[in-house]
Structure 1
Amino acid sequence: MSRKDLEVKKRHHYVWANYLARWGSGTKNVFYTTKNGRFAHDSVRAIVVDDYFYKITTLTSKHVEVIKGFSRKSPDHLHQQHMSYLHDFLRMQYVEDIYCKSDIRNQEVELRLHVMKCNLLENLHAAHEKKALPVLAALADEKLDVLQDKQKMIEFMAFFGHQITRTKTFRDGAIQVLSRRNAMEIVVADAMEHAWWFLSYMYGMNLGFSLYIDRHNARHALLINDTKVPFITSDQPVVNVHSCVSETEFGAPEHADFYYPISPRVAYIICDSEQFTPGKYEVDETTVVELNTKVAAQAMVHIVGDTENAIRPFKKYIGRRHRKAPDGRVMV
């Protein structure tokens, strides 16, 4: 390992900082809402980040059993991929276990083990980001034909799936609604929470594959916004904006219109509905306001824009999906 390989990646962005910078008007600084409900203007490095968010936890046999149980519901080739990744993580865990049980203590070995636990999953997400970078640049320039390249479409859909499942917003929402009505459900829910770092990556793989194989059935559109109201984004960059998504009670939506703003002017959407036709689609101001409202409602803390005025009208909607109804249900 080089010295660089021994650097611990502590600050884990669960929304890609490079992506958020498209709202920086040529800088790294964006306007966003803070935890206390104020507006701030600061570097993208300061938001949607948690220390050690993707750090690997030790998996017991129960955790592995739960992971395998969910993975078996996937197509066989994806299940095999999941198990290959799991094997790699467990092998690292096994090496650490042998070291801890030995009488040997070595500072460099301990550093290498710590680096692997902190960096492995973060590096996987970074690899997806790197492959998606030229695609996002082309889409931001309204060059939709970049996705005529099959390999680029595969890479973009893999990236897209993880933009849904890798976030703190998605994690906290999913864990909050896990059923804990009996001892078995409590065991499974606790295991899912502990192993979420792996499950979230597994779910992102599955979702990306599903979006790719269904690409000829769903409507893929590049939304062009020439109105005076710019697109905003949030701590949950891909949101389901389909009309079937309830805002009053919890339930798995039957359909999905996955909406992904790419810049204040351009967004990508994958539709089950017929709201948008495939290809380039110019949106009106009413549609932009509706999309921005849904982005804010499905955010946890941060909505992000290129000006304070761009996000101010939508601040009141932040977190609406995550608030609890009087009967204790989570509104979605």
Structure 2
Amino acid sequence: MLADSTGGAYPPHMGSNVTRGQHYVWRHYLEAWETDGLLSVSRHGAVPFSSSAAGIGKQRDFYRLPRLRPQDVAFADLIISNMQITDEAKRQAREWFDTAALVKTVVSHFAGRAMPEEVRSALNAFEIQAEEKIHAGIEDDATPLLCRLRRGDSSFWREDKEAAAFSFFISLQHLRTKRGAVKLFESFSAYDTDGVAERTWPYLKFAMASNMGFSFYQERARWSLNVVSAGGQVQFVTADQPTMNLIPPLDHNGIALFYPLSPTRALIMEHQDNSPIAPASGVMTDTQVDALNTRLAGYAHEQVYGSDRDYLADLVKRIA
């Protein structure tokens, strides 16, 4: 049997009902780069290979929820308390930790006695799949909005329900990635020897995405969703960190979020107080597209994806 993170073991029958290979890059999103079911992938700058979107951007048990200790909850509560948001927003941010409290309640119920096999199996399955199912629900809500953006239609930004859904979705896409987690853990490594950041991040990222998304939504009259098109031969690539801030994050509005939508279209989310990046025509030259591709490929964690294998090979070679 396979050992779990708490010293127990996964029952041998559990694997047939639990998704173990979990995508940290949305599969539906990557399918836009497929031709006849395949897209090109470069891993760590190597020569590109062909794969389906189903076979890449994933890791075994990537979303498994760790069990929190009292110091973890105290750390997370301190982070949320210091967020520049309303008390109600802080309350909602703390609700993301209800999942951890539920697991703790179940475990505590069986303290000092053997947990029945069927309970332990269900609890393990829940810890592995709960976050992935949350992402699936958020992505289901975002799918029609992504389709509209790929058609060049960002008019939903004026619609309250749709704008709120997209604000949270794009914020979570920015924070949920493997790169985001690794960079956070590296930044804490000098003084977090107990792993508090790593244990709380699966929960905190939702609280932070809620905070970031609410800011976008509340101030959306000053934010523009600019859909740009690749006007020449060079197409947009994407990566396992598909969102990237194009400007220095020096203040509250220090964001120009770049998000490739397909080989031919990309989103640049910009604040009206910043110098515009998206061309007024909405069409980018090969030079402009290549410059964005170069930045995104250099920003990627492990993998870069494209529809043009020859171009992708040249791109990763240039940034090596």
- TM-score, reference length from structure 1: 0.84
Quick one: distance in 1 between partners of 2:220 and 2:158?
12
Match of 1:190 among 195, 199, 219: 195
Structure 1 residues 315, 152: CA separation in 2 closer, same or farther (over 3 Å shift)?
A: same
Quick one: distance in 2 between partners of 1:101 and 1:94?
14
2:76 is equivalent to residue 53 of structure 1? no
Paired residue for 1:167?
177
| Residue 120 of structure 1, CA deviation | 1.1
2:215 is equivalent to residue 210 of structure 1? yes
| Residue 236 of structure 1, CA deviation | 0.2
Paired residue for 1:315?
316
Paired residue for 1:248?
none
| Residue 277 of structure 1, CA deviation | 5.7
User: Which is worse superposed, 260-269 or 74-83?
Assistant: 74-83
Structure 1 unaligned blocks of 5 or more: 246-250, 321-332
Read off the aligned partner of 1:176 and give its amino acid letter: E
| Residue 278 of structure 1, CA deviation | 9.1
Does the Cα contact within 8 Å between 1:240 and 1:257 map onto a contact in 2? yes
| Residue 167 of structure 1, CA deviation | 0.5
Does the Cα contact within 8 Å between 1:158 and 1:208 map onto a contact in 2? yes
Quick one: distance in 1 between partners of 2:317 and 2:206?
31
Q: After superposition, what is the alpha-carbon deviation per residue over 1:79-125, rounded to whole angstroms, capped at 9, x for unaligned? A: 1112222123212222123225324x422212211111011111111
Match of 2:246 among 213, 230, 241: 241
3-state SS of 2:59 partner: strand
Quick one: distance in 1 between partners of 2:124 and 2:281?
46
Read off the aligned partner of 1:146 and give its amino acid letter: F
| Residue 254 of structure 1, CA deviation | 7.5
Structure 1 residues 114, 252: CA separation in 2 closer, same or farther (over 3 Å shift)?
A: farther
Structure 1 residues 169, 28: CA separation in 2 closer, same or farther (over 3 Å shift)?
A: farther
Structure 2 unaligned blocks of 5 or more: 1-13
Identity %: 23
CA RMSD, Structure 1 to Structure 2 (Å): 2.6
- TM-score, reference length from structure 2: 0.87
Does the Cα contact within 8 Å between 2:64 and 2:129 map onto a contact in 1? yes
Quick one: distance in 2 between partners of 1:100 and 1:261?
49
Q: After superposition, what is the alpha-carbon deviation per residue over 1:40-75, rounded to whole angstroms, capped at 9, x for unaligned? A: 101112211111111111100000011101111231
Paired residue for 1:92?
103
Does the Cα contact within 8 Å between 2:93 and 2:206 map onto a contact in 1? no
Structure 1 residues 31, 301: CA separation in 2 closer, same or farther (over 3 Å shift)?
A: same
Q: After superposition, what is the alpha-carbon deviation per residue over 1:160-181, rounded to whole angstroms, capped at 9, x for unaligned? A: 001011000111112212362x
| Residue 280 of structure 1, CA deviation | 6.9
Paired residue for 1:324?
none
2:48 is equivalent to residue 64 of structure 1? no
